[in-house]
């Protein structure tokens, strides 16, 4: 009876039926047939979509905690910089937060708790007053891989609309670039990502605009100036001088063998 049931299963499954017919035509490959048969039966039947979904969710969770850890380290570092620490302490004094922390600390008679409370207040003020950009910015849910995949159709449509408007306004109608468009062209010329460009200081962006770097000729002049400036800095850098002397005298990858 069991053989009949198994034979019916073979007839219903197209892949298994092909293997069965192949075995009938090639009886000499008896052991090979059984290997494929049992490997297929014992193989875990997991939906690939579930595996992909779980993998994407796991990567997204890792991204979130990794980015949050980087953001927390950036806040901790800024809390040690005198410029930001003094400003945060002044704001805390104006709001009366430091006095409350000391009162709570006296009630418990713990200097460590007072210090930890004050540090927490300073960090919270820095978080609320400073907008960190670039790789250490505050993590956003919409930046995670899972949400990026879900929002991909929306981003694609938005880009197509933006690109069509760009072509229509500036290529067809010949409108003058605004500040946002000028900075976009400058960023593309510098081959920088949006997060990298956003992390630049405002005075640097103002310099780019004053020098009209969205114009290709002006950017080429600026780029050449930066390269010349970098060469001068390297020429006066003692570590770079030592490296050049080593390259000249020893050279890379030179091997010497000393006979004993």
Contacts of 196 (CB under 8 A, 6+ apart): 134
- Mean of pLDDT values over 9-23: 60
- Mean of pLDDT values over 203-212: 91
At 169-191, the pLDDT tens digits run 998 988 999 999 999 999 999 98
| Residue in the structure block whose two tokens are 């010497």 | 256
Using left for φ > 0, alpha for ψ between -120 and 50, and beta otherwise, residue 174 falls in left
Contacts of 78 (CB under 8 A, 6+ apart): 84, 85, 126, 130, 132
Pull the structure tokens for residue 74: 């950036």
**Residue 4 in this model has a pLDDT that exceeds 50:** no
Instruction: Tell me what pLDDT residue 107 has.
Output: 52
Alpha helices in the chain (DSSP H): 2-12, 14-25, 30-42, 48-78, 82-94, 97-108, 111-129, 145-150, 152-166, 179-190, 194-198, 202-210, 216-236, 238-249
Q: Which of 197, 191, 205, 201 is nearest to 213 (CA)?
A: 205
Q: Do 119 and 71 contact (CB within 8 A), yes or no?
A: no
When comparing pLDDT for 61 and 138, which is higher?
61
Separation CA 200–CA 244 (nearest Å): 31
Contacts of 146 (CB under 8 A, 6+ apart): 56, 57, 59, 60
Please report which confidence band the pLDDT of residue 94 belongs to, taking 50, 70 and 90 as the band edges: confident
Instruction: Tell me what pLDDT residue 1 has.
Output: 46
Pull the structure tokens for residue 103: 């009162």
∠205-206-211 over CA atoms, to 5°? 100
- Mean of pLDDT values over 32-44: 62
Instruction: Tell me what pLDDT residue 131 has.
Output: 64
Separation CA 88–CA 36 (nearest Å): 69
Prediction pTM value: 0.55
Instruction: Tell me what pLDDT residue 198 has.
Output: 80
Instruction: Tell me what pLDDT residue 209 has.
Output: 92
Instruction: Tell me what pLDDT residue 87 has.
Output: 83
At 95-150, the pLDDT tens digits run 777 665 555 545 555 677 778 788 888 888 888 776 666 556 777 888 888 898 99
């Amino acid at each position: 009876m069991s053989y009949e049931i198994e034979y019916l299963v073979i007839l219903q499954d197209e892949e298994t039926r092909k293997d069965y017919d192949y075995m009938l035509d090639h009886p000499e490959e008896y052991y090979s047939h059984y290997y494929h048969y049992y490997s297929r039966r014992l193989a875990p039947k997991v939906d690939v979509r579930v595996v992909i979904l779980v993998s994407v969710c796991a990567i997204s969770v890792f991204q979130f905690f990794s980015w949050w850890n980087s953001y927390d380290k950036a806040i901790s570092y800024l809390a040690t910089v005198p410029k930001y620490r003094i400003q945060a302490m002044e704001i805390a004094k104006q709001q009366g937060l430091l006095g409350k922390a000391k009162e709570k600390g006296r009630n418990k008679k713990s200097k460590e708790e007072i210090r930890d409370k004050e540090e927490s207040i300073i960090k919270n003020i820095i978080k609320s007053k400073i907008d960190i950009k670039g790789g250490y910015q505050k993590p956003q849910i919409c930046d995670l891989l899972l949400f990026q995949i879900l929002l991909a159709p929306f981003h694609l449509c938005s880009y197509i609309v933006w690109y069509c408007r760009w072509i229509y306004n500036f290529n067809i109608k010949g409108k003058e670039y605004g500040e946002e468009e000028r900075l976009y062209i400058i960023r593309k010329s510098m081959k920088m990502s949006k997060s990298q460009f956003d992390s630049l200081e405002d005075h640097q962006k103002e310099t780019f605009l004053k020098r009209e770097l969205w114009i290709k000729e002006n950017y080429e002049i600026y780029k050449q100036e930066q390269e010349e400036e970098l060469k001068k800095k390297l020429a006066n850098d003692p570590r770079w001088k030592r490296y050049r002397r080593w390259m000249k005298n020893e050279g890379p990858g030179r091997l010497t063998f000393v006979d004993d």
